[in-house]
Structure 1
């Protein structure tokens, strides 16, 4: 590769620095969750249950070569009783813990988890007596005045075994900073390029904040039994070099009433606003927020057992990315290049759309006015088909209204309103990865004159991104031999080994043969093992005379 006079061609190498999410590994696993529960009456047969796995209840922990996943299964069981009536029973959430092997995973990596219920079956394993025994019938015939009154019999109960088969998909990524070659300019050099769309990671960080509030209970409280918490209405906003996060921490507090010992429930919503510095963040960039409750405590006021001070410590992990389309060099002729294999999420396409969700709301008592509506969107399924994304989800609401008769503020929980929507994403194909970010833009309820019903209108925004995991071999460096590294009349120079160096790379860099480099450094016992900071001899080659 020398020209006349022994001079090497001048080569210009253009590079760009990217921070990308490198895919460490991904896998799918099936597992079973087996539980027993009791229903308050005999069962003739079961209908299709309503099974959900709340995304905000999924917790992950990445350890060496594994991901630990914790979550909850929420079920509404529908069954036909012996009387032919269809009954519904909402079961307490069932917690589960599972792990998935991901080779190469390590603490600090990020895990994305999607869990889907594949099948849920119920089996009656014990059912109480429906009819009384002959002895009981005989007692009734002889007359109850000859016997002591008997206490009422407990209701018939049915013990059921549930087997749920769940599919869990786990992807582990690591944010890496890599300098890629975007062009090589020089005589007789032909480069091969490829257009890639990647998420350039602008920055990420974690911030903690405390949510402190005074809570007034309906009854005097002996103690707090347990607290279930979830995040709703998480709304991140990017400004210059910062991300502002607004959201609601929803809590279901189970407390023991003083005097009776009865366990009761009270729902509380606390709004919070927090910001985090992300240098380089700009409006319009993509934001992902992963909230987590670290600690919740309640201190009951001894002078007024209906009051308690709540302190919740929450952690917010924030990542800001920018979708970039960049042409990179994947190979070249006429010059030596160094390549690295990356597993990246290639962005196929992204778009957003709006839809309206309308429904009739029924109040148990006449409502004078609507005080507040807390809403949340739960995406139950998102899949890619030809050039489209199909999105299924539910809109959950808590409606706070003023009772017409008592002027008391009351709460109405509205069951999830299902919706199905699609968004055009050219290039989308079945099997590709789909990520959906929902947002409630507007929600309102128009009350009827009698106050017992209302017409709800909600406007949702759905942002969908389709990606495909690809292995891409990118050129990260170019061997441009340097013929001017040796001073005049010098026979060798001393070179200090840098991180990532090898004798092969050094030989290529300075245009000497690997054998000559090894021969000049007899102190190196293993040519495959050199260390940063180590000094080696690079022989100088005589230049041809012009």
Structure 2
């Protein structure tokens, strides 16, 4: 067989594989691009063509792989080594080599992308906490308290940790909080008395790799309480406390997704973007100034709205101005500057989650006169748009991530029905907007108890032909059966208002029915060393 025919046949096989892979993954493939940003078009052919050699020659001419690429394709694919004779029958080649049937045992759920050289990439990017370090400590808190009245004996002492606060510094985690004790004792009058004691605590843990800005989760436990009534009014106590701290840093990882279970509920990155904002303002100082000592700025109260391929950001730029007056006294003045901007994020869509990371890059100012201060603040906004998905992650030797593993899920529905008294005589209900404003879940054995509030805005036409608005909050409570749920597990609740049905019974009363559906996903936090995608150099 001539060499050019052999090469053309190889290219034909590769293109056929691409065509069937595209169909196999339900047309999720995206077009590839060249280094210059132009689309790399690969023609599709029918493997039943009556003249495959001519069509292969045409495709080979348009595709034009380099000699090295052709050799790489031949070396990696090379189907004829184990299945001789199939190169002359493309249909059999596809059936026997490319798609060996597995009778439903394996089904890919990954995204399929076409890269520049016609290969495939089926590896999602996820934004998850990566374990940096962890540590535990035990401490004994010893105290002596004077009782308000003489005691015959101590009935019980209950101790809990409250108001835990943490701070991450290089190599350490500082823990602060309050040990709250409730002392129940029997007085000489045989009455049970109660007395409270609050003890502030402060400790630190050494954790290698910890750094400011990282996230930390601290859990506390009261392991033991012992006491001794020294005399009728003096009580000596010892409380043993245990603290566990886990330091993580949220990172975007390109991981290898697996097949089957277990499933992990993680945010998948749908798109990223950045935008710079220059906030320029002129402020009148309350006192005459001879110079500005310092201006600090932070971004507060950020709100976002996701639309197609864009994220709208609004917030407040809070500034503190420190300046020296003409009387040589240093003064302080605050300023709040509202701002808004949008960031282009390809792949963003309504309902997705957004994380905004603002950075103050520069603060420039000019004291134009004793009371007029011109300021320019440069802010960089980094935006990451994610959507929560359930995927299997291939274990490996990469970073250890802390992720929720799905233990079970179920969907429940409830009908909220009530009679609303209208504030004014009504002739027609125009519209009712309903939303779930609060929702909580409590996990018990094989069940999730769901509670929350539905907020409704009723728009109606009065008998005077004027449109009015009336608000109402309705509480709800029901449970969903979730096999595998265990107390102590976490739960993610996704509510959906399926239908709102109003019926005007009279000019002053309306029957309202709301159909609410809630997806309850029960998870448990696990640690997993993932496999990262090795990107080509």
TM-score range, shorter chain: 0.3 to 0.5
Structure with the higher fraction of residues in helix conformation? 2
Structure 1 length normalisation: TM-score? Answer: 0.39
Select the structure with the greater relative contact order (CA < 8 A; seq sep ≥ 6).
1
